[in-house]
Amino acid sequence: MRPTSVILQDIKKFQPTADGNWFTLHELVQELWTEDEGPAEALVPLFRLLERFPEDESAGVLWGVLHGIESYPNYETELVQSLQRHPTDLTVTMVHRMANSGYTLVAGHAMKSLYQAVLAHPRASEEAKERAQDYLADK
């Protein structure tokens, strides 16, 4: 098994192939999660990965990353920090999944305020803004 730091470096450098193949990332994430949950130091690189690819065109690979992040205990603070850096469709979806699970706050932030911050964020993807708007309308 390779050291976690090496796997994380490969994740940081990942780019899909010219023909849109994301399989290498899938393999890297599987390698990272050899146990029930990945190492805590993987949270920030995984959120930064989602930020690098704000529009999910990964044929489900980034959804696997989302599910993996959600398996970590206490990932909420990193989720909020990711939203503050660069909101994406998947990070907004994570907030909504928490709301559907009964959360009213994420790392001390009200759900509504997180969605509003996404709408005002200059780096938020259009898809993330649309999703945030839809979730606000559901409230």
Average pLDDT over the chain, rounded to whole? 93
pLDDT of the residue at 131:
95
| Confidence at residue 28, expressed as pLDDT on a 0 to 100 scale | 95
State the average pLDDT over residues 43-52: 96
**Would you tell me how many other CB atoms lie within 10 Å of the CB of residue 44?**
13
**pLDDT above 90: residue 37:** no
% of the chain residues with pLDDT over 90: 80
- Residue 50 amino acid letter: L
How far apart CA 26 and CA 30 sit, in angstroms, is: 6
Structure tokens at 44: 């920030």
pTM: 0.93
Q: Model confidence over 97-127: pLDDT tens digits?
A: 999 999 999 999 999 999 999 999 999 999 9
User: Which structure tokens are listed for 124?
Assistant: 């938020």
Nearest to 53 by CA among 84, 29, 8, 86: 86
Q: Tell me the mean pLDDT in the region 22-47.
A: 87
Compute CA distances 129 → 26, 88, 125, whole Å. 27, 8, 6
